[in-house]
Amino acid sequence: MTDRNTAQLIPREVLFGNPDKASTSISPDGKKIGYLAPVDGVLNVWVGPADDPSSARPATDDKGRGIRFYVWAYTNDHILYIQDKEGDENWHLYSVDLTTNQTKDLTPLEGVHAQIQQVSHKMPHEIIVALNDRDPQFHDLYLIDIKTGERRLIQKNDEFAGYITDDDYNIRFAMRMTPDGGSEVLRPTAKDDWELFIKISMEDMLTTSPIGFDKTGRLLYMIDSRERDTAALVALDLDTGEQRLLAQDTQADVSGLMIHPTEKTVQAVAFTHERKRWQILDSSIEEDIACLHGVSDGDVEVVGRTLDDRCWIVAYAVDNGPVRYYRYDRATKDAQFLFTNRKALEGLPLAKMHPVVIKSRDKLDLVSYYTLPAAFGDEPKPGTPLPMVLLVHGGPWARDTWGYDPLHQMLANRGYAVMSVNFRGSTGLGKAFINSANYEWAAKMHDDLVDAVDWAIDTGIADPERVAIMGGSYGGYATLVGMTFTPDLFACGVDIVGPSNLVTLLESIPPYWQPQIEMFTMRVGDHRTEEGRAFLVERSPLTHVDRIEKPLLIGQGANDPRVKQAESDQIVAAMQEKGIPVTYALYSDEGHGFARPENRLSFFAVAEAFLAAHLSGTCEPIGDAFRGSTIAVPAGVEQVVDLDTAMTGHTSKG
């Protein structure tokens, strides 16, 4: 590897440790600012005066996994956050009284999955919460007092996947799936029944849905792909039935909205093809947006607004540096810099991310992103082909986007080219693109990944003898597919919480996903029929485990409710039975992915040592990366350089 492909080694701690500050927000009255920041290495919510963020203090006292999501209550004196237990996704909802520093569990129920349904400025002391405490498959709606915790059932649910409520806490619509993989939107009748309001075909199901109301409650906003390919924003007058198109793009679906905090009018709409762009609908914010574009480099995102809409929290995202946060006063047009989310990234040799559209073998546009080592700057090619890591996103009904990505940065810093591909089935690029993936797991969806690798080889970016495949969830499945269906293409693979058997995957989904089972059976395969099971078995990497020829690393959370530990256990056991080497990292306190930074750092320490051995890249030594981690290696400790040494004497935390 040439000197140009190497650079100052960026420590894993900088890339995968806790951020300094994240999820910055402002209280509805504009007097307080909140953000996530570590306390003794654990992410908590901090709150301080909006005009003096440096004096913020911790408002929560989580000592375990760290808080990842919170919102302000409209009392201005309460923070609401959710937390599960060791990755089981049985979320509890907590309320923190900022005046008394008291925390109350609003959903003190074991084995129950809580979801925030609605928080309204009209009802500042109460929120609607969805709970599956009565029936694990269905979420009833409760009105909960955030001060006292008093809970009152307002909607019993025996059939619906979810509800649409308004700011007056009226239940306006219910949604359910149909046997053909489509969905129905129903509205309540005067006789306490439900009537069909909108029927959505399977082809439109993932790209059409109601999203909310204007201030009057008589205008319904919808994301709608019916009679078009890409999902547009439309407004439906509930009194007259008139539908009006507000915004659309011929290449991309709606990917974001700016909505006035009290008028509830949509002021701007985002569309993301290769990069995100905003279409302004409300002229009253044009001057503000123009002003913000002159403040800092990067893609502008308004991430918080006061109820009077005078103050905004604005984030600027780039591909090769930290997020920059500002507090913007609309009256004075003054943007006050607050902080970045990771100060340690400032000044480091971070790499640029290149968007590119690659043609699949059947002529689909695959919106992709690749990163080269920072020494190449803006150059689109390295001159000499590099070892490459193909990073496959999860979902699969999700997508990759342009911007800072810690895995891209770590791998590029270690001398690799890195490629992410929006293969067919990825969202945001029209319904035809999504639907072209139906029944194509391990088939055309994988062909798209292969086509992107071939493109990278043909353009001189990737060394064909040194390409790895890596991903989590669906990306983990894609990794296992790569190792079994195209074993000659990849030099090694890293599978994180990936399913190995599609039959057992679908048989073991969480009960609260059961109302949506037709989405899986109509797009992946039907495990309930003999023919469907045979199809799924053929598309399962476990069936073809004897084809694996190259080294494989697997990471799994023991409490994963989506892709259960058995998915990794069974392919590891099958490989061991056939004498095929595999390294297996298991975490007793994790679920679907690695939430605790100690566990992230330990796994990526193993992963980069594994990749360095098989792609001839550089790596930061494992060292003390296992400190505080629950990593266990039940198989293949001898397969990764220095892993046995690192595990010697290591005692898993917890």
At position 431, the amino acid (one-letter code) is K
3-class secondary-structure state, position 114: strand
Decide: 236 and 242 in contact? Cβ < 8 Å: yes
At position 211, the amino acid (one-letter code) is I
Q: Is 40 a catalytic residue?
A: no
Decide: 434 and 397 in contact? Cβ < 8 Å: yes
Q: Provide the β-strand partners of residue 270.
A: 256, 278
Backbone torsions φ then ψ of 112, nearest 5 degrees: -115, 140
Give the burial string for 362-395 (b: 16+ CB within 10 Å, else e): eebebbbbbbbbbbbeeeeebeebbbbbbbbbbe
Residue 652 tokens, joined: 């898993």
Residue whose pair of structure tokens reads 């053909």 in the numeric block: 180
What is the rounded distance in angstroms from the CA atom of residue 245 to the CA atom of residue 224?
Answer: 9
* Region of 254 on the Ramachandran plot (φ > 0 left; ψ -120 to 50 alpha; else beta): beta
Neighbours of 337 (CB within 10 A): 12
Backbone torsions φ then ψ of 545, nearest 5 degrees: -60, -30
Q: Provide the β-strand partners of residue 257.
A: 269
First to last CA, the chain: 41
What is the rounded distance in angstroms from the CA atom of residue 651 to the CA atom of residue 654?
Answer: 9
Question: In this structure, what DSSP letter does residue 16 have?
Answer: H
Short-list 348, 350, 322, CA closest to 337: 322
Q: Inter-axis angle of helices 406-413 and 597-615, to 10 degrees?
A: 40
Decide: 27 and 50 in contact? Cβ < 8 Å: yes
Short-list 496, 494, 504, 565, CA closest to 540: 504
- Catalytically annotated residue among 249, 319, 463, 560: 560
Q: Is 592 a catalytic residue?
A: yes
3-class secondary-structure state, position 116: strand
- Catalytically annotated residue among 78, 92, 592, 614: 592
Q: Provide the β-strand partners of residue 71.
A: 80
Decide: 478 and 489 in contact? Cβ < 8 Å: no
Q: What angle do CA 325, 326, 327 make, to 5 degrees?
A: 135
- Catalytically annotated residue among 95, 473, 568, 629: 473
Alpha helices in 265-323 (DSSP H): 286-293
Decide: 326 and 314 in contact? Cβ < 8 Å: yes
What is the rounded distance in angstroms from the CA atom of residue 134 to the CA atom of residue 129?
Answer: 14
Backbone torsions φ then ψ of 229, nearest 5 degrees: -90, -50
3-class secondary-structure state, position 612: helix
At position 179, the amino acid (one-letter code) is P
Residue 625 tokens, joined: 């990366």
Neighbours of 216 (CB within 10 A): 11
Neighbours of 45 (CB within 10 A): 24
**Active site (catalytic) residues:** 473, 560, 592
